[in-house]
Amino acid sequence: MMRWSVRLSRRSARSSALGVAAALCASLAACGGETSRSGPSNELLIVGYDREPDTMNRYATHILEDIESCVVEGLVTNDEEMKIIPVLASEIPTTENGGVIVRPDGGMDVTWKLRPGVKWHDGVSHTSADVKFTVDAINKGDWKPESVDGFDRISSVDTPDSLTAIVHYKEVYAHYQLQFVRGTLPQHVLEGRDLNTANDYNRAPLGTGPYKVKEWKTGEYILLERAEGYWRGAASPKIKQLLFRFLTNTTTRINLLKSGEVHMVALVAWDKVRELEPIASLRMNRVVGNGYEHVTLNQRHFAPFADVKVRQALAHAVNRDLLVRTILDGQVEVVNGPIQPLSAAYEPKVPTYGFDPERARTLLTEAGWVPGADGIRMKDGKRLAFTLITQSGFAIRENVSQALQQAFRDVGAEMTVKLLDGTTISSVWFTGDFDAMLHWWQMGADPELTLFFAGDRMPPAGRNINYVNDTELSSLLYRSDRTADVAQRNELLREAQRRIAALAPEIVLYNTAKVDAVPKSLKGFTGNPTNAGPFWNVHQWEIGTP
Amino acid sequence: MRGMIVRRVLQSVPLLVLISVLVFALLQAVPGGPLAAYLENPNVRPQDIERLRVAMGLDRPLAAQYVSWLSAFVRGDWGYSFADGRPVLVRVFERVPATLELVGASTLLALCLALPVGVLASVHRLFDRITSFGAVAGISLPVFWFGLLLQLVFAITLGWLPSSGRASFGASSFADRLAHLVLPVVVLAAVQAAAWSRYLRRAMRETIGRPFMNAARVRGVSERGVLLRHALPNALGPFITVVLLDAAMMASGAVVTESVFAWPGVGSLFTESLVKRDYPVLMAFLMCGAIAVMVLNLLADIAVRSIDPRTRGTA
């Protein structure tokens, strides 16, 4: 009897355990299904974001400022056509409107007129004193903002009235229009404080933008909430809350988009676009980016690259159309230079290097490189063999590297591929310790090329990691930097582009496309070709009917 | 017992110092430093980098950097993160609960699976064959692949469970937290249970063949009694050591799982800090890891002593 009861109770325990498990599954399923899968609405838009910001301080962060820019506005921003448009400034200062004056001493004065009626989120007015405070805070030197470029050329700022800031430059600075694209620091909150450790500001900055930080849950998300009393009026922004979920794993980010747990993902990897296209609730928003993928040929590290014929030959060896059609899945376009068609300074008529392996072989022979026993060309007992570095974990680049390897081999050059992590690559930019590198430059809206091609801007003084040193080119670039006249500057830059193409210091492959996966119901979304990022006009977004 | 604990703690001090020297040196040897992240911006100039180097104290000799780190560390001042400027202590410990939750739950689940499977497999040949196949599969599963597969099936296709995160936004119920735990815990537990069940099975098999087992049978102890009261306690000693050491390692093994499931634990902090070469956070993480391994090792010894009377007389 005793035994029976034990058995019975075991059996009933088993069946009740099964019941509990089933009920648990059902309730878990229900709760997983309901709370995390509601579609986008004007109450909440969930963004799958590829990384957690280090700081929300726009001047100190060294990653994209997408989240920050929803909170802290610049005096200007770039629109979807890469035009610089005023935000907190009431107009863009130019020589024509009298906002820019070149002084007889070679310096320059830029007058910024601020938009009236703009208030910080705490209700205090945004004034020219904030502009002056920002310049002083950056130039004081005891803070570690990411870059002080341009600010160190400012000698002083005058504030004749609360809405006028006159910025005095020591020399002509052609990029002045984007000087305050990262906005201003609120003087009334930060004066006298150590900005390195002002974590209340750095984690939840006081801004003038459409949103403010409601919560930053480390490792999980940042929640932005509509700022009441936004200067554009009560109708803006329409979406009440923006939730940025940090999803570092690319596949996870895409999986969450598919399952509906996130509503949009900015910058979808090109090889994932086709996978997402069939999802009915999503729209793939594609803009041509202001960047270009290329192979840097380091003339200092690998001497044969110093011969222009070798560089041109390698450029002719690559079938770029095929690369774009196959590996890149047609998401990008073949381009021929560092400045993209979006820019007013773009020059379309430059020497180009079409796929022509025969021409490549001829050029190499002319340069004295003759095929050795193994098919690899030799000159003075040295083989034409070099190493290309590129970023690991980036499937497209790994595939492109292999295609390049094959293409170069076909014309008699041996290339070894070495994959490095992103941080190591960044350091290499500064040391110049490599033969060739497959990577891209994401260019700013300002068409500056000096940093990348001037003879005296080789690392560590700049990003001329091709180590190209051409007097004519350097002169054109510096002249373009030292003119405040935009039309004249663009003409000089066009000539520079023709010169760069003739010199072929790098093998230009294709431009970068920026593909954002957004809900079909999201109105007002345009994307952005520059680092201003897709959130540049977040105040205009609205969830409507798809 | 108390003597042993004191002795072990004292022994661990020079070991920890040695580990800290090694870890410090290794981090310096990794190419690209904490300033590399700043270099991604093409407008950053050499003078900016120099300014940042001085601001971060990276311009001082390595030995000086190490000594000041060590003296601050033992005083409980773990410095500030290079990445976000917040205290390292805050950054590390705000992530600990999530990792404890994940590793604790997976250890528990893995034990619940490994114990019965290990014991049964040691006596049932057919069951052994079947589970051995399952265990080999479990051990060989790449964690990230298995994780993504579960996500695909249970979150995307079936929609039963959330695919990632620790909780739904705006939800605070226990069931919601549990739902988020299921997939990462299953992934971690599957691998552990597979390994542990095989370990226990082998330890059991070794014990079962020993003469005292036959002696017990001769005394009339039932087969189940022999197995559970005589073989299991003997096999359990080394098993517990393995489990506790693995639990310490699992916190770092959870790096991949945490990334796949966007779990906000120390593992994901470690990956992130490694990418940014955030030395202060990395040092703290690696030192905590070393301390955790030592503590769990000590706990394992204590546990084995309390289970197995034969070990009590020795050091």
Residue ranges per domain, chain A?
Answer: 37-71+209-281+520-545, 84-187, 289-513
C-alpha dihedral (A417, A423, A425, A428), degrees to nearest 10:
-130
Residue of B156 and A461 predicted with greater confidence: B156
Angle between helices A395-410 and A308-317 (to 10 degrees): 110
Asked whether the beta carbons of B191 and B247 are under 8 A apart, the reply is: no
Per-residue pLDDT at B174: 87
Per-residue pLDDT at A4: 32
Asked whether the beta carbons of B262 and B255 are under 8 A apart, the reply is: no
Task: Compute the C-alpha angle A474/A477/A482, nearest 5°.
Answer: 125
When scoring A213, A218, A243, A531 by the number of chain B Cβ atoms within 10 A, the one with the most, hence best to mutate, is A218
Percentage of chain A modeled with pLDDT above 70: 93
Residues 6+ apart with CB under 8 A from A508: A292, A294, A315, A335, A336, A337, A338
Provide the token pair at B283: 């040092």
Percentage of chain A modeled with pLDDT above 90: 68
Q: DSSP for B127-172?
A: HHHHHHHHHHHHHHS-HHHHHHHHIIIIIIIS--S--SSSS-TT--
Residues 6+ apart with CB under 8 A from A523: A541, A542, A543, A544
Tell me the per-residue pLDDT of A505-539, one tens digit each, with 9 for 90 and over: 999 999 988 999 999 999 999 999 988 889 999 99
**How far apart, in whole angstroms, are the C-alpha atoms of residue B268 and residue B274?**
10
Q: Decide if pLDDT at B94 tops 50.
A: yes
CATH number of A84-187: 3.90.76.10
Which residues of B are less than 8 Å from A291 in CB distance? none
Distance (Å) from the alpha carbon of B150 to chain A's nearest alpha carbon: 11
Per-residue pLDDT at B313: 57
The CATH class that applies to domain A37-71+209-281+520-545 reads alpha beta
Inspect the interface and report whether the beta carbons of A35 and B171 lie closer than 8 Å. yes
Q: Decide if pLDDT at B80 tops 90.
A: no
Average pLDDT for residues A110-131, to the nearest whole number?
Answer: 96
Per-residue pLDDT at A29: 53
Residue A175: how many CB atoms within 10 A of its CB?
18
Q: Which of residues 271-310 of B touch A (CB under 8 A)?
A: 271-272, 275-277
Which residues of A are less than 8 Å from B178 in CB distance? 24, 28
A129-158 burial by CB neighbour count: b if 16+ within 10 A, else e? bbbbbbbbbbbeeebbbbbbbbbebbeebe
Per-residue pLDDT at B5: 83
Cβ of B89 under 8 Å from any chain A Cβ? Answer: no
Average pLDDT for residues A123-139, to the nearest whole number?
Answer: 96
Cβ of B145 under 8 Å from any chain A Cβ? Answer: no
**How far apart, in whole angstroms, are the C-alpha atoms of residue A68 and residue A535?**
9
Residues 6+ apart with CB under 8 A from B153: none
Decide: helix, strand or coil at residue A225.
strand
Amino acid at B115: L
**How far apart, in whole angstroms, are the C-alpha atoms of residue B167 and residue A217?**
12
Q: Share the mean pLDDT of chain B.
A: 84
Q: Is the dihedral of CA B267, B269, B275, B280 positive or negative?
A: negative
Task: Compute the C-alpha angle B288/B292/B296, nearest 5°.
Answer: 175
Q: Decide if pLDDT at A8 tops 70.
A: no
**How far apart, in whole angstroms, are the C-alpha atoms of residue A138 and residue A477?**
27
Residues 6+ apart with CB under 8 A from B38: A62, A146, A147, B44, B48, B49, B52
Tell me the per-residue pLDDT of A187-221, one tens digit each, with 9 for 90 and over: 999 999 988 888 899 999 999 999 999 999 988 99
Nearest Cα neighbor of B203 from B230, B168, B232 is B232
Tell me the per-residue pLDDT of B176-202, one tens digit each, with 9 for 90 and over: 999 999 999 999 898 888 888 888 888
Average pLDDT for residues B79-95, to the nearest whole number?
Answer: 87
- ipTM attached to this prediction: 0.80
Highest mean pLDDT out of A382-386, B26-30, B238-242: A382-386
**How far apart, in whole angstroms, are the C-alpha atoms of residue A522 and residue B297?**
55
Average pLDDT for residues B148-169, to the nearest whole number?
Answer: 89
> What is the number of residues in chain B?
315
Tell me the per-residue pLDDT of B64-77, one tens digit each, with 9 for 90 and over: 889 888 888 888 88
**How far apart, in whole angstroms, are the C-alpha atoms of residue A206 and residue A82?**
27
Amino acid at B238: P
Q: Which of B45, B95, B162 has its CB closest to that of A36?
A: B162
Average pLDDT for residues B126-149, to the nearest whole number?
Answer: 86
Name the least confident of A11-15, A204-208, A472-476, B8-12.
A11-15
- pLDDT-derived band at A186 (thresholds 50, 70, 90) equals very high
Instruction: Give, for A157, the enclosing helix (H) or strand (E).
Output: strand A154-161
Per-residue pLDDT at A147: 67
Average pLDDT for residues A302-329, to the nearest whole number?
Answer: 95
Residue of B13 and A414 predicted with greater confidence: A414
Residues 6+ apart with CB under 8 A from A452: A338, A441, A462, A463, A464, A466, B42
**How far apart, in whole angstroms, are the C-alpha atoms of residue A196 and residue A190?**
11
**How far apart, in whole angstroms, are the C-alpha atoms of residue A434 and residue A389?**
7
Cβ of B85 under 8 Å from any chain A Cβ? Answer: yes
B34-61 burial by CB neighbour count: b if 16+ within 10 A, else e? bbbbbbbbbbbbeebbebbbeebebeee
Asked whether the beta carbons of B235 and B206 are under 8 A apart, the reply is: yes
Q: In what order do the strands lie in the sheet with A382-383?
A: A370-371, A377-379, A382-383
Asked whether the beta carbons of B55 and A196 are under 8 A apart, the reply is: yes
The CATH class that applies to domain A289-513 reads alpha beta
**How far apart, in whole angstroms, are the C-alpha atoms of residue B245 and residue B171?**
35
Q: Share the mean pLDDT of chain A.
A: 89
Residues 6+ apart with CB under 8 A from A385: A376, A413, A414, A415, A416
